[in-house]
Chains A and B, each alone.
Chain A
Amino acid sequence: EDKVVQSPLSLVVHEGDTVTLNCSYEVTNFRSLLWYKQEKKAPTFLFMLTSSGIEKKSGRLSSILDKKELFSILNITATQTGDSAVYLCAVEPSNTDKLIFGTGTRLQVFP
């Protein structure tokens, strides 16, 4: 059965810290991996990764995919209180239009 596992489940840090969120997956046919940020209600798109070893970067956030080891990491440097959210990882298999989501990592950043 296809599945996505995120770790840790929750994380509490202070402003300025650097955090690494993990996403491992098992899918029969991999097409892409996506990261979303969910602050209150609507998840918002962060990154889509399809190729192994190529880092996607947006400001203080960056992500990389390892297709051999079947995982991705999301890094956030110099965290701010506005980074507090649930970060969702999803994988899209190539043989279906059904995204498979992990349960998310809840990040809390305190001043």
Chain B
Amino acid sequence: EVQLQQSGPEVGRPGSSVKISCKASGYTFTDYVMNWVKQSPGQGLEWIGWIDPEYGSTDYSEKFKKKATLTADTSSSTAYIHLNSLTSEDTATYFCTRDFGSRYFDYWGQGVMVTVSS
């Protein structure tokens, strides 16, 4: 069974950074690209970027190029997103989601709520 298990909720001070994890199981981690999606409170879904765990290659939405860094650890089948210089605009739930055949996102993590507060 494919599962994407994300880390727990985070609280960060303005100007600080957080790193969220997404541990994959039930499939070969390096066979599928991983996407990250942001959902602000009461809002829709925004694509942040993707990482190919096999090669470490990444692609980002222009909006998130200076905000997010995607990495992957193949030894633990875990993808990470690092969010820097936090502001209130970064308060949101962040999802990891597996990319199927460059056509759609099939499996999703449960989401991690990041709250930016002083």
The yes or no verdict on A and B being binding partners is: no
**Interface on A for B, CB 8 Å cutoff?**
none
